Amino acid sequence: MYLNKISTFNRVNEVSNPKTIVFFDFDETYFPHEIDSYRHEKLRALEDYLLHQAREQEMVFGWVTGSSIESVIDKMEKGGLTLLPHFIASSLGTEITYFHDNCFNKTDTDWSRALDDTVFSSSVVERIVNDLDNEHGIVLEGQTNLGGSTYKKNFYYREENPSIDEFNLETIRKAADHHGISVNINKCNPMAGDPEDSYDVDFIPLGTGKDKIVDYMLHKYQVTKNHAYAFGDSGNDLAMLHSVENGFLVENATAEAKSQYTKVTLGRYSEGILNTLHSLIQDEKKE
């Protein structure tokens, strides 16, 4: 249970009127799955910077991830991370939990209430998966490594060949749309623990996803897009990056993502993130 672990991490203070807000994908963006002493040093430097910005009432930051809260906290512990963000938007932005000192480990009830009004359910997803198999011969394998959640059901689609895959993935999108829910389809990244030659297929409610989290938080904190930053490493993050004026892929991003998005940090993982934040936020202060 992650509740027993979070008390060991440092927390940030509440920032009521931030000047900037930063959104991070977690796996292979903020958190490298292979951590050596150099990567750990760069992570601590980023944590120190973010903690300082929060203390100065300058910045709110959060992780927007496909992983569950439990998975994120477990990775924090194993990777030696020390600082919790203001919020974690987990399970592909279908859940929001706050971790700052005045609202510690509290879910966003307004966000949750909105999801309760959608048609999303396990039975709807099961119906889609069965119809895809029975009517189109498209097999989706349930994922077990990250688990599902109330509002996110995740599967793998195994590649066949480009023309068949294109047709099958579009068929999956149409099936989700027909049933009134969303689906996020993204090429798997083996560095994050996924299998090769596969796609993540994540069914979620309408109105959720990483880009919708950005919209929600910008409105909540009254920050404009030109003072918002986002960092990611894969095609799964591109909608989020497009939702702010300062969206960047980290240098270690997948080739697929780089083929679709050209703004890339100078440096990998937290090193690239910190280089970018130092440069752009310093430029803002000079204006």
Percent over 90 (pLDDT), the chain: 83
**Residue 47 pLDDT exceeds 70:** yes
Whole-model pTM: value is 0.92
User: pLDDT tens across 132-146, in order?
Assistant: 999 999 999 998 754
Could you tell me which of 74, 72, 69, 59 has the C-alpha nearest to residue 97?
A: 69
Measuring CA to CA, how many Å separate 107 from each of 34, 70, 97, 103, 172?
30, 14, 4, 9, 31
Joined together, the tokens standing for residue 162 give: 């480009």
Phi and psi angles of residue 156, each rounded to the nearest 5 degrees, phi first: -110, 140
Q: Across residues 179-199, what is the average pLDDT?
A: 89
- Alpha-carbon gap, residue 68 to 55, rounded angstroms: 27
Confidence of residue 157 (pLDDT cuts 50, 70, 90): very high
- Alpha-carbon gap, residue 220 to 15, rounded angstroms: 12
202 catalytic per annotation = no
The reply to whether domains 3-116+208-286 and 122-204 share a CATH topology is no
pLDDT of residue 1: 63
The architecture that CATH gives domain 3-116+208-286 is 3-Layer(aba) Sandwich (3.40)
Contacts of 165 (CB under 8 A, 6+ apart): 157, 159, 199
**Residue 147 pLDDT exceeds 80:** no
Contacts of 88 (CB under 8 A, 6+ apart): 62, 63, 65, 69, 72, 96, 97, 99
Torsion of CA 237, 105, 83, 263, to 10 degrees: 10
Catalytic residue among 25, 27, 194, 200: 25
Spans of all domains in the chain: 3-116+208-286, 122-204
**Residue 27 pLDDT exceeds 80:** yes
Cα dihedral across residues 215, 219, 220, 224: positive or negative: positive
**Residue 286 pLDDT exceeds 80:** no
Confidence of residue 211 (pLDDT cuts 50, 70, 90): very high
Q: Across residues 9-29, what is the average pLDDT?
A: 95
- Alpha-carbon gap, residue 59 to 71, rounded angstroms: 25
Could you tell me which of 262, 263, 260 has the C-alpha nearest to residue 246?
A: 263
> C-alpha angle 64/68/72, rounded to 5°?
75
Neighbours of 273 (CB within 10 A): 26
User: pLDDT tens across 74-133, in order?
Assistant: 999 989 999 999 999 999 999 999 999 888 999 999 999 999 899 999 999 999 999 999
Higher pLDDT, 131 or 285: 131
Higher pLDDT, 286 or 200: 200
pLDDT of residue 146: 46
Higher pLDDT, 1 or 278: 278
CATH class for the domain made up of 122-204: alpha beta
pLDDT of residue 284: 59
Mean pLDDT taken over the chain: 93
pLDDT of residue 194: 82
Look up residue 140 and give its amino acid. L
Q: Across residues 38-66, what is the average pLDDT?
A: 95
Could you tell me which of 286, 284, 240 has the C-alpha nearest to residue 263?
A: 240
Query: CB of 99 within 8 A of CB of 88?
Result: yes
Torsion of CA 95, 276, 21, 53, to 10 degrees: 110
**Residue 7 pLDDT exceeds 90:** no
